[in-house]
Amino acid sequence: MSIIHVLDQATINQIAAGEVIDRPSSVVKELVENAIDAKASVVTIEIKEGGQKLIRITDNGSGILKDDLSIAFKRHATSKIVKAEDLVSVGSLGFRGEALSSIAAIAKVEVITKTKEDFMGNRYVIEGGIEKECEEIGAPDGTTFLVRDIFFNTPARQKFLKSVSSETSHISDIVERLALSHPEVSIRFIVNGQNRFHTSGNNRLKDVIYSIYGRDIAKQLLEVNLEKEDLKITGYLGKPQVAKTNRSYEIYFINGRYIKSKMISESLEEGCRTFLMQHRFPFCVLHMEINRERLDVNVHPSKMELRFQNPEYFSEQIISCVKQTLGGNDLIPETKIEPTVIKEEPVYNPAPKPIPEFKLPPIPPKKIEPIEKPKVVVPKPESKIVKPEPKLVIPPASKIRLVGQLFDTYWVVEYEGECLIIDQHAAHEKVMYEEIVESLSTRKFQMQQLLPPRIITLTPKQRTSYEQLNPFLSEMGFEVEPFGGSEIAVYGMPDNLIGIEPEEFLVGLLDRGSEGKKWVPEEVYERAATMACKAAIKGNHRLSEQEAKALFEKLVNLKNPYTCPHGRPTMIRMTQRELEKKFKRVL
């Protein structure tokens, strides 16, 4: 009997579908692109449970004619090209005619559509590639796609889906990029019944950035405008203050498409290098128009590869454009107005926040922008809570003998037959760090109210991550609540973390969550403690002998007293025997 057999059509379609649709976010991408291709000016995207349960995309575009409905769901059915040569010139987003057939092959799809010319609309249902229903119904102009139970007939693929939050985050990425690449289209994004963002469709990119990333970022943007041979760049570049810790906010579109290019990313980073701190990446949303003849486009089902005919030329242009944008603007006043009401140190924290370092551009400041008054949305503090300076308790039962201090920093100590030279600052940091980690993990802290509360604007992805993280945050002594729209308010935080910037801490946490990475509680405590120590340690603080003794007592009793949280040594040790060997008293 033959062991080779030909796969049936349904299986062939499912395999082909897998290349186009690998997760719910690809469904969203294809359907929103179709809506934009259909000249819609308003598109609503709604998802439930990471898109696996439901994706609903509604547009007010051209609609699909009744006779075209079933054809549209056939493989390689497209209204956009007729033959292969058309691929080179096609300006629309989709052109392979594979999306609808692929989606229908792996999900339950319902379409309600009406063209302007038709009096009645049509409803068409197709599940796993099999037509189920087709009927005339009343409907508004445009098209609504409902996609349910993705991969219901391919459980093997379903297993590869990540958690709901991770799929939601993928979809957020796609929808954000679509909104940023089409400021002329009003896009509403709804997750589990909650409005994530809504762009107005007024064709102003800055307004789209505001809708997605919030006021704090939108306030710190520099306009980019470059027109050179074969290259045009427009859009916005964030000032150094809004630089990010990862590359995911380097957003650029080439000829309308979101594309990742190593050359472009490296050029952007090179252009920013002298303006940003180390390990920081620019925030930008740039539209690049590149002469199509200078590009070699390789279309792959899931990604698009670009090769540039003269990469050095484009790289140079991008680098100098970024340098000019950052260098041509006066960045000084912005750093001065940075500590607004929202950024203000908590009233009970006397430690000043270090001003972030960045090199200033060589060009002298041109004009000082008027200082924008921040909107005060919270009541003024009525009373000040002053946290008392922690006093070190001097242990009665101590084996430590202080010999003396060197250079105002190092203490020479005799302890259990050893000579220790202890770095006072490193010791202080280490002891404090361990105490904070311990108190956080054993819940030995009290919630302190923040007056006024801190308002933090979140991106849609951070928002998803916040919903997940919130129970953990409250366990950790943070009182955080939604503050309407994309904002959250921090009303309280654990007293042992007073001094850290709640915004810096929480946003760092949420960013990591939104990248799909999980936080282990211990890691969170360690991160919090590191930040708290940094905020609390004061340089050249003179310790009295009693304070030093109490501090070192704590230090030597730690599990690992030898290195500070950053891995630097806290002490140098020498045993009595080693000393005697050095003096050749023993051999």
Task: Kindly list the residues in this chain that would bind ligand ADP in the complex (CB under 6 A).
Answer: 30, 34-35, 38, 59, 61-64, 72, 77-80, 94-100, 143
Cβ at position 184, least distance to ligand ADP in Å: 17
* Cα distance between residue 112 and residue 138, in whole Å: 9
Q: Which is nearer to ligand ADP, 13 or 62 (CB)?
A: 62
Cβ at position 110, least distance to ligand ADP in Å: 13
Q: Select the binding partner of residue 64 from Mg ion, ligand ADP, none (C-beta < 5 to 8 A, by kind).
A: ligand ADP
Cβ at position 453, least distance to ligand ADP in Å: 43
Cβ at position 169, least distance to ligand ADP in Å: 24
> What does the DSSP assignment read for 433-466?
HHHHHHHHHTT---EEEEEEEEEEE--HHHHHHH
Q: Which is nearer to Mg ion, 20 or 226 (CB)?
A: 20
Q: Is 32 in the site for Mg ion (CB under 5 A)?
A: no
Q: Which is nearer to ligand ADP, 58 or 448 (CB)?
A: 58
Cβ at position 472, least distance to ligand ADP in Å: 40
Q: Which is nearer to Mg ion, 99 or 205 (CB)?
A: 99
Using the structure block, give the residue that is written with the tokens 């598109």: 43
Cβ at position 94, least distance to Mg ion in Å: 2
- Strand residues in 182-277 grouped as ranges (E): 186-191, 194-198, 221-228, 231-238, 250-254, 257-258
Look up residue 318 and give its amino acid: I
Q: Select the binding partner of residue 38 from ligand ADP, Mg ion, none (C-beta < 5 to 8 A, by kind).
A: ligand ADP
Q: Is 180 in the site for Mg ion (CB under 5 A)?
A: no
Q: Which is nearer to ligand ADP, 100 or 242 (CB)?
A: 100
* Cα distance between residue 6 and residue 66, in whole Å: 34
Question: Helix, strand or coil for residue 515?
Answer: coil
Cβ at position 41, least distance to ligand ADP in Å: 13
Contact, 287 vs 184, CB < 8 A? no
* Cα distance between residue 243 and residue 239, in whole Å: 7
Q: Which is nearer to Mg ion, 94 or 561 (CB)?
A: 94
Using the structure block, give the residue that is written with the tokens 């395999």: 15
Q: Which run of H or of E encompasses 400?
A: strand 400-406
Q: Which is nearer to Mg ion, 94 or 477 (CB)?
A: 94
Q: How many CB atoms lie within 10 A of CB 92?
A: 15
Q: Which is nearer to ligand ADP, 150 or 507 (CB)?
A: 150
Cβ at position 83, least distance to ligand ADP in Å: 14
Q: Which is nearer to ligand ADP, 79 or 398 (CB)?
A: 79
Cβ at position 64, least distance to ligand ADP in Å: 5
Strands 250-254 and 284-290: parallel
Q: Select the binding partner of residue 61 from Mg ion, ligand ADP, none (C-beta < 5 to 8 A, by kind).
A: ligand ADP
Question: Helix, strand or coil for residue 373?
Answer: coil
* Cα distance between residue 468 and residue 169, in whole Å: 12
Rg for the chain (alpha carbons), in Å? 30
Of 38, 43, 99, 550, the one binding Mg ion (CB under 5 A) is 99
Backbone angles phi, psi at 184, to 5 degrees: -80, -10
Q: Is 34 in the site for Mg ion (CB under 5 A)?
A: yes
Question: Helix, strand or coil for residue 343?
Answer: coil
Question: Helix, strand or coil for residue 63?
Answer: coil
* Cα distance between residue 246 and residue 325, in whole Å: 21
Backbone angles phi, psi at 72, to 5 degrees: -55, -25
Question: Helix, strand or coil for residue 45?
Answer: strand
Q: Which pair of structure tokens corresponds to residue 215?
A: 């006021």
CA angle 24, 26, 27 (to 5 degrees): 65
Binding mask 57-96 for Mg ion (x = CB under 5 A): -------------------------------------x--
Q: Is 214 in the site for Mg ion (CB under 5 A)?
A: no
Partner residues linked to 572 by β-bridges: 421
Q: Which is nearer to ligand ADP, 92 or 340 (CB)?
A: 92
Q: Select the binding partner of residue 35 from ligand ADP, Mg ion, none (C-beta < 5 to 8 A, by kind).
A: ligand ADP
Q: Which is nearer to ligand ADP, 127 or 423 (CB)?
A: 127
Q: Select the binding partner of residue 17 from Mg ion, ligand ADP, none (C-beta < 5 to 8 A, by kind).
A: none
Cβ at position 275, least distance to Mg ion in Å: 40
Cβ at position 437, least distance to Mg ion in Å: 52
Q: By Cβ distance, which residue is nearest to ligand ADP?
A: 94
Alpha carbon 61 to its chain centroid, in Å, reads 32
Residues in binding contact with Mg ion, number by CB under 5 A: 3
Kindly list the residues in this chain that would bind Mg ion in the complex (CB under 5 A).
34, 94, 99
